[in-house]
Amino acid sequence: MLKIAFHPIYKHHLPNGHRFPMLKYELLPQQLLHEGSCSPNNFFEPSLPNDEHILAVHDESYYRDLINLDLDKSAARKIGFPLSGELIERERIIADGTIKGCEFALEHGVAMNIAGGTHHAYSNRAEAFCLLNDQAIGARYLQQHHLAKQILIVDLDVHQGNGTAEIFQDDPTVFTFSMHGKGNYPFKKETSDLDISLEKDTTDETYLSILKKTLPELLEKVQPDFIFYLCGVDVLASDKLGTLAMSLEGCKERDRYVLQTCFDAKIPVQCSMGGGYSPDIKIIVEAHANTFRLAQDIYA
Protein backbone atom coordinates (compact mmCIF):
# COMPACT_ATOMS: atom_id res chain seq x y z
CA MET A 1 0.00 0.00 0.00
CA LEU A 2 1.19 3.51 -0.83
CA LYS A 3 1.84 5.40 2.41
CA ILE A 4 1.85 9.19 2.40
CA ALA A 5 3.15 11.47 5.15
CA PHE A 6 0.85 14.38 5.96
CA HIS A 7 0.30 16.57 9.00
CA PRO A 8 -1.92 19.67 9.31
CA ILE A 9 1.14 21.64 10.42
CA TYR A 10 2.48 21.37 6.86
CA LYS A 11 0.20 24.30 5.92
CA HIS A 12 2.01 26.97 7.91
CA HIS A 13 0.50 30.43 8.32
CA LEU A 14 2.41 33.10 6.41
CA PRO A 15 1.94 36.89 6.09
CA ASN A 16 -0.53 38.02 3.43
CA GLY A 17 1.06 38.26 0.01
CA HIS A 18 3.92 35.86 0.74
CA ARG A 19 5.11 34.23 -2.49
CA PHE A 20 5.27 30.68 -1.12
CA PRO A 21 2.09 28.72 -2.03
CA MET A 22 1.56 27.13 1.39
CA LEU A 23 -2.07 26.37 0.49
CA LYS A 24 -0.95 23.48 -1.73
CA TYR A 25 -0.19 21.35 1.32
CA GLU A 26 -3.84 21.51 2.35
CA LEU A 27 -5.35 21.20 -1.13
CA LEU A 28 -3.25 18.29 -2.38
CA PRO A 29 -4.43 15.63 0.11
CA GLN A 30 -7.97 16.97 -0.22
CA GLN A 31 -7.82 16.52 -3.99
CA LEU A 32 -6.41 12.99 -3.78
CA LEU A 33 -9.17 11.96 -1.35
CA HIS A 34 -11.94 13.74 -3.27
CA GLU A 35 -11.15 12.06 -6.58
CA GLY A 36 -10.59 8.65 -4.98
CA SER A 37 -6.94 8.33 -5.98
CA CYS A 38 -6.16 7.80 -2.29
CA SER A 39 -8.11 6.77 0.79
CA PRO A 40 -7.59 7.81 4.42
CA ASN A 41 -5.68 4.54 4.91
CA ASN A 42 -2.96 5.78 2.57
CA PHE A 43 -2.05 8.65 4.90
CA PHE A 44 -0.04 8.59 8.09
CA GLU A 45 0.70 11.45 10.46
CA PRO A 46 4.37 11.99 11.34
CA SER A 47 5.48 13.38 14.69
CA LEU A 48 8.58 14.95 16.19
CA PRO A 49 11.63 12.79 15.41
CA ASN A 50 14.44 11.90 17.74
CA ASP A 51 17.02 14.69 17.66
CA GLU A 52 19.78 12.16 16.99
CA HIS A 53 18.41 11.59 13.48
CA ILE A 54 18.66 15.29 12.69
CA LEU A 55 22.07 15.66 14.31
CA ALA A 56 23.41 12.88 12.08
CA VAL A 57 23.17 15.46 9.26
CA HIS A 58 23.07 18.94 10.79
CA ASP A 59 25.65 20.67 12.98
CA GLU A 60 24.58 20.68 16.61
CA SER A 61 25.23 24.41 17.07
CA TYR A 62 23.05 25.25 14.06
CA TYR A 63 20.28 22.94 15.19
CA ARG A 64 20.31 24.32 18.74
CA ASP A 65 20.11 27.87 17.36
CA LEU A 66 17.03 26.80 15.37
CA ILE A 67 15.35 25.17 18.35
CA ASN A 68 16.09 28.18 20.55
CA LEU A 69 15.11 30.68 17.81
CA ASP A 70 18.57 32.12 18.23
CA LEU A 71 19.71 32.58 14.61
CA ASP A 72 21.25 35.93 13.86
CA LYS A 73 19.22 38.28 11.64
CA SER A 74 21.21 37.53 8.50
CA ALA A 75 20.85 33.77 8.89
CA ALA A 76 17.15 34.05 9.71
CA ARG A 77 16.54 36.26 6.67
CA LYS A 78 17.92 33.57 4.34
CA ILE A 79 15.13 31.19 5.38
CA GLY A 80 12.49 33.18 3.52
CA PHE A 81 9.86 32.49 6.22
CA PRO A 82 9.39 34.41 9.49
CA LEU A 83 11.23 32.46 12.18
CA SER A 84 8.96 30.94 14.84
CA GLY A 85 8.68 27.94 17.11
CA GLU A 86 5.83 26.54 15.00
CA LEU A 87 7.96 26.79 11.85
CA ILE A 88 10.75 24.78 13.49
CA GLU A 89 8.25 22.20 14.73
CA ARG A 90 6.88 21.96 11.18
CA GLU A 91 10.32 21.31 9.71
CA ARG A 92 11.07 18.60 12.26
CA ILE A 93 7.74 16.88 11.57
CA ILE A 94 8.37 17.01 7.80
CA ALA A 95 11.72 15.30 8.40
CA ASP A 96 9.97 12.61 10.43
CA GLY A 97 7.55 12.08 7.55
CA THR A 98 10.49 11.27 5.32
CA ILE A 99 12.18 9.06 7.94
CA LYS A 100 9.02 7.00 8.42
CA GLY A 101 8.48 7.07 4.66
CA CYS A 102 11.83 5.32 4.23
CA GLU A 103 10.58 2.43 6.33
CA PHE A 104 7.31 2.24 4.39
CA ALA A 105 9.25 2.32 1.11
CA LEU A 106 11.30 -0.67 2.24
CA GLU A 107 8.04 -2.49 2.95
CA HIS A 108 5.94 -1.41 -0.03
CA GLY A 109 8.48 -0.26 -2.62
CA VAL A 110 7.47 3.41 -2.52
CA ALA A 111 6.40 6.10 -0.04
CA MET A 112 5.56 9.77 -0.42
CA ASN A 113 5.73 12.95 1.65
CA ILE A 114 3.17 15.67 0.86
CA ALA A 115 5.91 18.16 1.80
CA GLY A 116 9.70 17.84 2.03
CA GLY A 117 12.35 18.14 -0.62
CA THR A 118 14.14 20.74 1.49
CA HIS A 119 17.34 20.43 -0.52
CA HIS A 120 18.67 23.95 0.07
CA ALA A 121 19.29 23.22 3.76
CA TYR A 122 23.03 22.85 4.38
CA SER A 123 24.59 20.99 7.27
CA ASN A 124 25.06 24.30 9.10
CA ARG A 125 22.56 26.80 7.67
CA ALA A 126 19.13 27.38 6.18
CA GLU A 127 18.35 28.75 2.74
CA ALA A 128 15.37 29.39 0.48
CA PHE A 129 12.47 27.92 2.51
CA CYS A 130 14.63 24.97 3.66
CA LEU A 131 15.75 24.56 7.29
CA LEU A 132 16.34 20.81 7.73
CA ASN A 133 17.28 18.59 4.78
CA ASP A 134 14.63 15.87 5.02
CA GLN A 135 16.03 13.46 2.42
CA ALA A 136 19.57 13.78 3.73
CA ILE A 137 18.21 12.97 7.20
CA GLY A 138 16.36 9.99 5.73
CA ALA A 139 19.50 8.75 3.99
CA ARG A 140 21.54 8.84 7.19
CA TYR A 141 18.73 7.15 9.09
CA LEU A 142 18.75 4.25 6.66
CA GLN A 143 22.50 3.87 6.83
CA GLN A 144 22.81 4.15 10.60
CA HIS A 145 20.09 1.52 11.05
CA HIS A 146 21.74 -0.76 8.48
CA LEU A 147 18.70 -0.58 6.20
CA ALA A 148 20.63 0.63 3.15
CA LYS A 149 24.28 0.97 2.19
CA GLN A 150 24.45 2.71 -1.18
CA ILE A 151 21.98 5.52 -1.80
CA LEU A 152 21.11 7.53 -4.91
CA ILE A 153 19.41 10.92 -4.62
CA VAL A 154 17.58 11.91 -7.80
CA ASP A 155 16.83 15.63 -7.53
CA LEU A 156 14.69 16.87 -10.42
CA ASP A 157 13.56 20.13 -8.86
CA VAL A 158 14.28 23.10 -11.14
CA HIS A 159 16.73 24.41 -8.52
CA GLN A 160 20.02 22.68 -7.78
CA GLY A 161 20.12 20.67 -4.54
CA ASN A 162 22.99 22.73 -3.19
CA GLY A 163 22.51 21.81 0.46
CA THR A 164 22.31 18.10 -0.34
CA ALA A 165 25.49 18.36 -2.43
CA GLU A 166 27.32 20.03 0.46
CA ILE A 167 26.15 17.51 3.04
CA PHE A 168 27.35 14.50 1.01
CA GLN A 169 30.30 16.11 -0.78
CA ASP A 170 32.87 13.71 0.68
CA ASP A 171 30.65 10.65 1.03
CA PRO A 172 30.89 7.95 -1.66
CA THR A 173 27.98 6.03 -0.11
CA VAL A 174 25.44 8.71 -1.16
CA PHE A 175 25.45 9.70 -4.82
CA THR A 176 23.83 13.09 -5.49
CA PHE A 177 22.32 13.73 -8.93
CA SER A 178 20.74 17.10 -9.67
CA MET A 179 19.19 18.12 -13.01
CA HIS A 180 18.14 21.74 -12.86
CA GLY A 181 17.85 25.05 -14.67
CA LYS A 182 21.22 26.56 -15.46
CA GLY A 183 20.02 30.11 -14.79
CA ASN A 184 18.03 29.29 -11.67
CA TYR A 185 18.78 29.91 -8.01
CA PRO A 186 21.21 29.10 -6.46
CA PHE A 187 23.39 31.31 -8.62
CA LYS A 188 26.53 29.99 -6.91
CA LYS A 189 26.02 26.27 -7.16
CA GLU A 190 27.68 23.47 -5.21
CA THR A 191 29.13 20.37 -6.85
CA SER A 192 26.90 17.29 -6.84
CA ASP A 193 28.27 13.92 -7.90
CA LEU A 194 26.43 14.61 -11.15
CA ASP A 195 25.01 17.98 -12.15
CA ILE A 196 23.12 18.52 -15.39
CA SER A 197 22.37 22.18 -16.02
CA LEU A 198 19.58 22.83 -18.50
CA GLU A 199 19.28 25.86 -20.74
CA LYS A 200 16.42 28.32 -20.44
CA ASP A 201 13.15 27.10 -22.03
CA THR A 202 14.22 23.46 -22.20
CA THR A 203 11.24 21.52 -23.58
CA ASP A 204 9.68 18.17 -22.67
CA GLU A 205 11.44 16.37 -25.50
CA THR A 206 14.93 17.52 -24.56
CA TYR A 207 14.40 17.09 -20.83
CA LEU A 208 13.00 13.58 -21.10
CA SER A 209 15.64 12.50 -23.59
CA ILE A 210 18.41 13.50 -21.16
CA LEU A 211 16.68 11.89 -18.18
CA LYS A 212 15.99 8.62 -19.99
CA LYS A 213 19.63 8.36 -21.01
CA THR A 214 21.05 9.35 -17.62
CA LEU A 215 19.01 7.45 -15.04
CA PRO A 216 19.72 3.91 -16.31
CA GLU A 217 23.42 4.75 -16.52
CA LEU A 218 23.35 5.93 -12.90
CA LEU A 219 21.63 2.76 -11.69
CA GLU A 220 24.32 0.73 -13.41
CA LYS A 221 27.14 2.88 -12.03
CA VAL A 222 25.94 3.52 -8.47
CA GLN A 223 24.15 0.21 -7.82
CA PRO A 224 21.90 1.82 -5.18
CA ASP A 225 19.83 -0.19 -2.77
CA PHE A 226 17.62 2.84 -2.00
CA ILE A 227 16.59 5.93 -4.02
CA PHE A 228 15.32 9.32 -2.89
CA TYR A 229 13.33 11.18 -5.54
CA LEU A 230 12.78 14.92 -5.25
CA CYS A 231 9.96 15.55 -7.73
CA GLY A 232 9.56 19.34 -7.74
CA VAL A 233 6.97 20.64 -10.22
CA ASP A 234 8.73 23.98 -10.67
CA VAL A 235 10.02 22.60 -13.99
CA LEU A 236 6.71 23.73 -15.55
CA ALA A 237 6.70 26.55 -18.09
CA SER A 238 4.15 28.37 -15.94
CA ASP A 239 6.36 28.39 -12.84
CA LYS A 240 7.28 31.89 -11.71
CA LEU A 241 10.53 30.74 -10.06
CA GLY A 242 11.61 28.38 -12.86
CA THR A 243 13.27 28.80 -16.25
CA LEU A 244 12.26 25.60 -18.05
CA ALA A 245 9.38 25.08 -20.49
CA MET A 246 7.85 21.75 -19.54
CA SER A 247 4.17 20.96 -19.91
CA LEU A 248 1.97 19.23 -17.34
CA GLU A 249 2.07 16.11 -19.51
CA GLY A 250 5.87 16.27 -19.75
CA CYS A 251 6.21 16.61 -15.98
CA LYS A 252 3.88 13.63 -15.56
CA GLU A 253 5.97 11.56 -17.97
CA ARG A 254 9.09 12.49 -15.98
CA ASP A 255 7.50 11.11 -12.81
CA ARG A 256 6.17 8.04 -14.58
CA TYR A 257 9.61 7.23 -15.96
CA VAL A 258 11.42 7.63 -12.62
CA LEU A 259 8.86 5.63 -10.65
CA GLN A 260 8.60 2.89 -13.28
CA THR A 261 12.39 2.64 -13.41
CA CYS A 262 12.57 2.21 -9.63
CA PHE A 263 9.76 -0.34 -9.72
CA ASP A 264 11.33 -2.38 -12.53
CA ALA A 265 14.71 -2.35 -10.78
CA LYS A 266 13.08 -3.34 -7.47
CA ILE A 267 14.77 -0.43 -5.67
CA PRO A 268 12.71 1.22 -2.88
CA VAL A 269 12.05 4.93 -3.45
CA GLN A 270 10.98 7.70 -1.09
CA CYS A 271 9.49 10.79 -2.80
CA SER A 272 9.38 14.33 -1.45
CA MET A 273 7.46 16.99 -3.35
CA GLY A 274 9.85 19.94 -3.53
CA GLY A 275 8.98 23.18 -5.31
CA GLY A 276 6.03 24.39 -7.34
CA TYR A 277 5.30 28.09 -7.80
CA SER A 278 2.92 28.48 -10.75
CA PRO A 279 0.60 31.50 -10.25
CA ASP A 280 -2.45 29.24 -10.55
CA ILE A 281 -2.61 27.01 -7.47
CA LYS A 282 -4.73 24.51 -9.42
CA ILE A 283 -1.80 23.85 -11.77
CA ILE A 284 0.53 23.19 -8.82
CA VAL A 285 -1.91 20.79 -7.18
CA GLU A 286 -2.62 18.95 -10.45
CA ALA A 287 1.09 18.50 -11.21
CA HIS A 288 1.80 17.17 -7.72
CA ALA A 289 -1.33 14.98 -7.74
CA ASN A 290 -0.10 13.31 -10.93
CA THR A 291 2.90 11.96 -9.00
CA PHE A 292 0.66 10.28 -6.43
CA ARG A 293 -1.70 8.92 -9.08
CA LEU A 294 1.23 7.38 -10.93
CA ALA A 295 2.62 5.81 -7.76
CA GLN A 296 -0.77 4.24 -7.09
CA ASP A 297 -0.97 2.86 -10.63
CA ILE A 298 2.60 1.55 -10.84
CA TYR A 299 2.76 0.02 -7.38
CA ALA A 300 -0.81 -1.32 -7.30
Residue-wise pLDDT for 57-71, tens only, equals: 999 999 999 999 999
Q: Which amino acid belongs to residue 209?
A: S
Predicted local confidence at residue 251, as pLDDT:
98
- 3-state class of 167 per DSSP? helix
3-state secondary structure of 125: coil
**According to the model, what pLDDT value does residue 165 have?**
98
pTM above 0.85, yes or no: yes
Distance separating alpha carbons of residues 173 and 136, to the nearest angstrom = 12
Burial of 124 from C-beta contacts in 10 A (0-12 / 13-18 / 19+): middle
Would you say 271 and 5 are in contact if contact means Cβ atoms under 8 Å apart?
no
In the chain, which ranges are continuous DSSP H helix? 24-35, 51-55, 60-67, 73-77, 85-108, 134-144, 162-167, 204-222, 248-265, 281-298
C-alpha to C-alpha distance for 273 and 18, rounded to whole angstroms: 20
Residues of the chain with pLDDT under 50: none
| Residues near 96 by beta carbon (within 8 Å), at least 6 away in sequence | 5, 46, 47, 48, 49
Name the region of 249 (left: φ>0; alpha: ψ -120 to 50; beta: rest).
alpha
| Percent of the chain whose pLDDT exceeds 70 | 100
Q: What is the pLDDT of residue 17?
A: 86
**What pLDDT does 6 receive?**
98
